[in-house]
A and B are shown apart, each in its own frame.
Chain A
Amino acid sequence: MAMRELVTGGAACAVPGSSSSSNPLGAFANALIGSSSQKERLQEIPTSTLNTSGNNLYSGAGEPLSALPGAESEQHLQHESKGSEFVSGFHAANDNRLADVWDGIQNPQIPHFPGREGQTTFPLGHPQLQPELNGPPQRVLSSFLHSFVNSSHGGVPFGPTQLPILGLSEGDKRCIRDRSSIMARHFFADKSEDFINGQVNALLSSLEIDNHALARGHISGRHSELEQYWNEPQIMTPGPHTGDGWADEFAQHRVGQGDPNAWALSFERQHGAGGWASEFEHEQAQMTSVGRMAGANIPSLAAMEQTRMLAHTLAQNSNPKFQNSKFLQFVSKMSRGELTIEDNQVKPASGDWANEYQQQYNAGPSSWADQGPDRWADDFAAERAHHGPVDEQWVNEFSKLQVNDWADEFGRQVGEGVLGDDSADNWASAYDEYLNEQAVVKQKSDASRGVYVFSDLNPYVGHPDPLREGQELFRKGLLSEAVLALEAEVLKNPENAEGWRLLGVAHAENDDDQQAIASMMRAQEADPTNLEVLLALGVSHTNELEQQAALKYLYSWLRHHPEYGKIAPPELSDSLYYADVARTFNEAAQMSPEDADVHIVLGVLYNLSREYDKAIESFQTALKLKPRDYSLWNKLGATQANSVQSADAIYAYQRALDLKPNYVRAWANMGISYANQGMYEDSIRYYVRALAMNPKADNAWQYLRISLSCASRNDMMEACDSRNLDVLQKEFPL
């Protein structure tokens, strides 16, 4: 789980000052705790091991009883093993959320309660807080713990209840006690210490856990070194907390959660694996039940261990670039979680934490859904909410990754140099890239949403007749200049369909389909029936593999065609089936076989259905009628290339380039065809040529990078990444 936090919480945790409300970790925590309080949801969740006869977890069957904390503590329960079974059963069921919350706040420091009693007479007028007390013990425990968590949301006092004998082991009890003490301080951050103690005592006494008897149990003097280690972090007081700091803090806290393993690991570092093993076994025997209590947490412990190993391995990598990377900083920060375990005092900022948390909770998923539909946190929460069967959750997904868990494997392989020298580097840059992406993501999403993105500095703004200038530049083949002039035109006359159309054509020829689509959509707004615009939109969407959108525009082309419009049934326009559209187009082609345009549209349509042979035939027919149409030659070439006839494709592209030497798209397509034939050196030259004409052709940059790597030209990678065309052109002349 720690590793996942690296993934989800990465940016926010590593970048100071990022808003906590956009922190995926916050969302994550929110999802965990939030959903644990949602009884309805929980009840929808299929339980894997529970006997479902007791359908309502909160039936309110409980009788209020006053029990004094500690009073029954002597009744140590017999069924150790049984108790662990209960606990693990309860985890196997639906309580991972609770367990996670529980674990999240787990902190092995032992709270010292003043032993105050008489907190147990809280009013009990909240039936929803009454756990069900009948049924199998794990159900009782589960619902009981839930009711405790629920009591936090309303700030309602939690009443002690007499529970049936649960058979909790010592380890279980200790675990519950520790976690509840700490969790309560987070839940009730705004309440007084007395109140918190009361809550916890009520819980513990109901579970017959003695707050004192166990107090020193789990780190007895046996592990003196461990204890030293242990005390260290507690001396460290967390720095000043701001509202923004909470998530980070919480992340560290969570990372530090895995007490037994963290100890073991710390211990291992000091004493080496051998000595550690026996100690650990000893420890583990005692902690088995804690581990079981952790249930869902076991993967997270494993993941944390991996994080630590990862950080350790990475730290030994002497590559300075890597050493300075934020990725490493972040990983080591994560793994240091075990050393910065917070004590359980209530911090001034904890109030903020709680409020923030509550706000997020209230706001529900929407606050973090804003981060974009593809955010994984979103998916994750949705998955959990909708069908949280244990198996489907990523925590477990993650833990199911064979013995060679990826971080493990990764650490090993980096260590052994199996992945090559650049591997760690790649990870580092991938992470940096991830951070950088956050900054540019908005701009990019604008473009992909069909919003036209104008250039910043445009010398043609203020030009007396930018349209004419743009047409002239386009005719000369100066596409990038033409784009600027045409942008100036549509800024001046936003309703000029021809300005937008030509701008779209220029972008398409310049190999930028996103901008082409954005311009063409504006052209279509201004002139909804322009056939060239409709065809261009159909082509661009086909290139982007957007089948439905493409089909819609191609059909509109037919509908608005002065001749073929009458054979296009209007009722089709709502729900388009490819077969109907294709049939209608074939009719049209038979009506006037001499019309090149209908063959072109048909060719595009066959591309859409990936009937490449038919598409090639259509384009060849059209080319007989329009042999000087360079974009048609390119269409033929692209179709041939996509149906793995790369050699033919190169011939077609060459024809296109003979007719229009500055046709960036054809140059880029040339590169693709060479690359697809495994001729990477050649492909590089064509990509560089295309980029020299339009440095904004992002696709070509990406393909260039791939070809460089395939051609083992990593020496030029930096020039590619920094988009240094001078170097690239010198190195790869065409």
Chain B
Amino acid sequence: MAYKRKDLLGMKDLTKEEILYLLETAQKFTEINERDVKKVPTLKGKTVINLFFEPSTRTRTSFEIAGKRLSADTINFTASASSTTKGETLIDTVKNMEAMKSDIFVVRHSYSGAVKYIAEHTDAKVVNAGDGLNEHPTQALLDMLTIRQSKGRLEGLEVAIIGDITHSRVARSDVWAMTKLGVNVRLFGPTTMIPKHSEVFGCRVCKSMNEAVDGADVIIMLRIQRERQGKLLIPSTKEYAKYFGLTKDKLALAKPDALVMHPGPINRGVELMSNVADSDNSGVLKQVTNGVAVRMAALYILGIGNNKGGIDENAS
């Protein structure tokens, strides 16, 4: 077994071998999803709780389907992050769920570091389904799985990630994972959405959309969340579309078979034009399909693992 950690918290601390093991396991699970009867008894008798402290439908659904296809009992628990400021503390909530003899928590939280914090305070296995601006590891895995299926490899590929890098946990997880696997990642977005110290990512930061897409094998467009990040970072979605959106014309600068991806949900006409989203270059729905396989792999690896892990083993 090449993955000995208690939890899956992020890509930053994983080794190349651990990431490859997760990807290979996920690739195996894609086959189950193509069957007529999409169910295996692997996690029968295990309880998986989706602990979502931030609204989500697609990621939660994806995890729920993944758990059910592995025959786990999956339960959804939804609360708002702010509710913990009023009533029960976050750890008390987690301890209550643990006391019901849960095996795996799939956690999403709006604050960076909150999922790690939970993992340190529970014996249950924890999968990070997105914490604040920090990490969204299963998204990075499904992105890489989709790329590998399309291109047959990861190493040496030119991947552009375009959008709000500062406020994107998808970008962070993609960067940490892909750079470990030899992908050449380049970043682009409005200067208001690029971290001041972007050199820590070890990626090229581009100065224009043309530079960002030029000769790219893969283009990952990030969802622009104007309502969340406030109106200070960009003046309008119209202007965003003009300078930072992926149009047919811009796509023509990339490799002819360039793969276009997006973590969803897409803002059509803003970061991604419809004629690109619906083109043959688009891998968006393939990503969603792979998302289930990746999450099955994550639940499977943690769920059948006998190791107890522990805080020390997972310390960064």
| A and B from one complex | no
Give chain B's interface residues, CB within 8 Å of chain A. none
